[in-house]
Chains A and B, each alone.
Chain A
Amino acid sequence: MSNVEQMLTLNLKIWRQDDRNDKGRFVDYKLEEVSTDSSFLEMIDMLNDELVKEGKDPVSFDHDCREGICGSCAMMVNGQAHGPNALTTTCQLHMRSFSDGDTIVIEPWRSRAFPVLKDLRTDRSAFDKIIAAGGFISVNTGNAQDANNLPVNKENADRAMDAASCIGCGACVAACPNASAMLFTAAKMSQLALLPQGEVEAAERASNMVREMDELGFGNCTNHAECEAACPKGIDLRNIAHMNREFLKSKVSGK
């Protein structure tokens, strides 16, 4: 990567779709004078600025923090969820990863459980439903004992933290040929099962979250590991193995 600023001319092929019912289509745009120092989303901002000035509808996309933590931004860039760089959300992708004259294809997540709302925006509320089904510890405000009354083995605490890093962007689903949400579901499940305070209801949690996930129309895991490769936070595939174990335990225990 060079840190000398350059200006790029780009050919963009962007998925445009008016609303949920529209069929949608690719539209070509040519964009000039894109600084290599700008981020990918700032590149789309530039395009939108031109479109708005021409009185046209700008490209709609979800975004918010623009520092890789809120999980809002979500797009396929040249067929890859969040684009070419590993461990990088779209908002953290910078234009120095592209070359002058490149053609860039930009699409929304493609999954039955994430219907397109407009252009690059999808409805990911299915993820909230999975969490609502069991992605919590059943503790009311005020119930807690002193935090240090319950020591947690450091290795487990660190693994729980790694699993908890999930930002809920949906790249795992978008990258999976089966549109499976197992990495997302497993990450929350193993975070909580690894901690003593979450272990108590691990079986019920596993059973409820998996049932919800299946009902929402997500596919199953067939070990392609595309989810792990696409995950901007590096969530480990072994979480899925952990989830399967928790799920099996729940079946054996009849929960």
Chain B
Amino acid sequence: MGFKLDSKIPEGPIQEKWEKHKFKCKLVNPANKRKYTVIVVGTGLAGGSAAASLAELGYNVKSFCIHDSPRRAHSIAAQGGINAAKNYPNDGDSVWRLFYDTVKGGDYRAREANVYRLAQVSNNIIDQCVAQGVPFARDYGGYLANRSFGGAQVSRTFYAKGQTGQQLLLGAYSSMMRQVNKGKIDLYTRREMLDLVLVNGKARGIIVRDVVTGDIERHTADAVIMATGGYGNVYYLSTNAMLSNGSGAWQAYKKGAGFANPCFTQIHPTCIPVSGQHQSKLTLMSESLRNDGRVWVPKDKEDKRHPNDIPEEERDYYLERIYPSFGNLVPRDVASRQAKFRTDEDKGVGKTGLAVYLDFSQAIEREGKDAIEAKYGNLFEMYERITAESPYKQPMRIYPAVHYTMGGLWVDYNLMSTIPGLHVLGEANFSDHGANRLGASALMQGPADGYFVIPYTLGDYFNNHELEPVDTNHEEFEKAEKEAKDKINKLLSIQGTRTVDDFHRSLGKIMWDNVGMSRKESLLKEAVEEIKKLRAEFWKDVKIPGKAEGINDELEKAMRVADFLELGELMAKDALQRVESCGGHFREESQTPENEAMRDDEKFAHAAVWEYKGENQEPVRHEEELKFENVPLTQRSYK
């Protein structure tokens, strides 16, 4: 076997591609839509919006989530905002500019046609969300307010206090629940996906575990949509929620879906630093803080004075020094890397030495405490609750943390993976953010895929594929269920000495040290070997109490960590092959004399797509060439 990567990008000028494609997509007659059943895994912004929109069209939707309610999906934690090209402030924004910024921000490793469509539908998202009752911030005239975000030169970010993700998700959730009430969505909560089932090469169902009863269930459908989010928790500590995992994507990969650019991870510069061994997750502080906060470390690494006692001239405001024109507002990847360079020089601050200062004293002096409180009050409170230090009185301590994964399952222009019938939406796919995601763009992609892309492209799939009836007694379902049960029994039978978290922590350390903010050949090779060893040990020595029936938290975690132990290795291999620096992926072998990232467009202007070849077999790396016809390739410079 082996797959062919056909991106199915429509012909013609980029502005017309989506319109023409929508027209070419064959329609399913309204009376026939009710004959199709669609499984949607995940109820975040991408999955929730897809489930609601497809049910509204008349499809029968089966929606699955790992939580007790669809409203808890991790989209809820996004703080800052959502971008759209409305140009309400009349400051020069346009679909073209949003497209351009996103391609450039992604460091030229995203597909132009997809990004252009994303920019096009961004405006529809705002309209739709307002109609749903999403309470975006407004000015005194009653019109929608905008702010600039993440270094954008226009104000195109819509926001709902510091809870934009929550409000957008609750909008999608309410639309979904309306369809649940109408009987068009069957909602399955507290279900964990264990496998994807293919019949005659097409995605026709899934195997799930009811985490309350422990029952293994089989579900059939005519198409499967995965919107299972990102895999940042492979690093153990990240800003992702505790249940966020890579298992759905990993199961699909092992069934033949290509996995694109697994090494593209985003490390967010403004998170609250690790405080000790007990730490279970990291908390992000919105990057809007960099609009007023100044980042610094002491010039002298021996300087252990309280930050307020270090005089101005003995501080190194390193972002302002190195990047005079962008200063503290350089993109996320640049800010993160520079923080790492400072702590590598032993100039880090705080008790662990793994932090830098983010200082608001001058902003408070300039604008007054009240003005700063109005902008960042809730963030300052959150910081104080966690650290017991007040950012009004002394600088915050921040450090980069894993935040988002740009890599994911490969999809074509229709958002379909290399498995016919398996569509992948939101953070789970690879398509729109290239090697680095811009702020306020994740909230744009989920709803774009779910509300405005999949409702068109899914109908085209149904029209072009003959789908024979399949029921849950099919041998493929038998087989998949047996494999899932065997895996569970095997895990429970090991009864070793180390806890699941202990293994996860060890994996996280390898990933962070070797496949983190700065990568090089020797460390990546080491990571591949270390992960293999750790995986073998896991399968010999993990300790999971309890049984397969009923709630078993340790068993759930073990299944996710077992997958991370394989995914981590693929990430290291992908990073090893990409001998260039682009976006969040910094290879020490590919930098300028000033330690700036250097892309290699000759060799690497492509998406690397990995094909699974079986256990203990080397996966095969394919390439989808990326053509830049509208945004000319240039090295990013923020000097």
Contacts and interface: CB of A to CB of B under 8 A. Distances in A.
B127 A138 contact: no
B69 A128 contact: yes
B590 interface: no
Interface stretch (A46-54, A222-230, A247-255): A46-54
B4 interface: no
A239 interface: no
A12 B485 CA distance: 36
Given A64-B72, A70-B76, A132-B180, A154 B139 contact: yes
Nearest to A67: B283
A203 to B, nearest CB: 16
B242 A63 contact: yes
A42 to B, nearest CB: 5
B191 interface: no
B551 A70 contact: no
A45 B280 contact: yes
A45 B385 contact: no
A193 B52 CA distance: 22
B307 interface: no
B56 A132 contact: no
B243 interface: yes
Nearest to A165: B163
B74 A70 contact: yes
Contact of A94 (B67, B386, B551): B386
Interface string A22-54: 000000000000010111011101100101110
B160 interface: yes
B77 A138 contact: no
Interface string A116-151: 011001011101100111011111111111111011
Nearest to A131: B177
B499 interface: yes
Interface residues of B, number: 81
B17 interface: no
Given A45-B280, A56-B545, A135 B163 contact: no
Given A125-B189, A131-B177, A65 B77 contact: yes
Interface in A87-108: 88, 92, 94, 96
A1 B388 contact: yes
B71 interface: yes
A132 B276 contact: no
Chain A CB within 10 Å — which of B56, B242, B451 has the most? B242
A117 B154 CA distance: 50
A141 B52 contact: yes
Contacts of B23: none
Interface in A188-204: 191-192, 195, 197-198
A166 B453 CA distance: 30
A154 B138 contact: yes
A148 B143 CA distance: 6
A231 interface: no
Nearest to B386: A94
Contact of B166 (A69, A96, A154, A191): A69
Interface string B159-186: 0110100110010011101101100000
A146 B72 CA distance: 29
B278 interface: yes
Interface stretch (A75-83, A156-164, A175-183, A213-221): A156-164
B69 A124 contact: yes
B490 to A, nearest CB: 18
A145 B127 contact: yes
B631 interface: no
Nearest to B126: A147
Contact of B550 (A1, A19, A67, A142): A19
A64 B241 contact: yes
Contacts of B52: 141
Contacts of B495: 55
Contact of B127 (A60, A67, A147, A167): A147
A57 B72 contact: no
A21 to B, nearest CB: 11
Chain B CB within 10 Å — which of A128, A136, A168 has the most? A136
A67 B77 contact: yes
B553 A58 contact: yes
A43 B277 CA distance: 12
Contact of A70 (B49, B72, B388, B554): B72
Nearest to B547: A57
B626 to A, nearest CB: 30
A53 B137 contact: no
A107 to B, nearest CB: 17
A72 interface: yes
A65 B74 contact: yes
Interface string B364-388: 0000000000000000001001111
B389 interface: yes
B499 A160 contact: no
A147 B138 CA distance: 11
Contacts of B126: 147
Contact of B174 (A41, A121, A131): A131
A150 B134 CA distance: 13
A132 B181 contact: yes
B560 to A, nearest CB: 13
A46 B502 CA distance: 12
A195 B543 contact: no
A178 to B, nearest CB: 23
Interface string B125-151: 011111111011111111110000000
B551 A64 contact: no
List the 10 shortest-distance A-B pairs measured between CB atoms, nearest first.
A151-B142, A136-B174, A3-B388, A144-B127, A144-B131, A161-B135, A147-B130, A38-B278, A132-B177, A132-B181
14 contacts: A52-B543, A53-B543, A57-B545, A58-B545, A62-B68, A72-B68, A88-B385, A136-B178, A140-B56, A144-B130, A144-B131, A148-B143, A165-B166, A191-B135
Given A70-B77, A140-B53, A195-B133, 17 more contacts: A19-B551, A49-B501, A70-B74, A72-B68, A96-B388, A131-B177, A135-B177, A136-B133, A136-B177, A136-B178, A139-B128, A139-B132, A146-B127, A147-B126, A160-B133, A164-B167, A198-B133
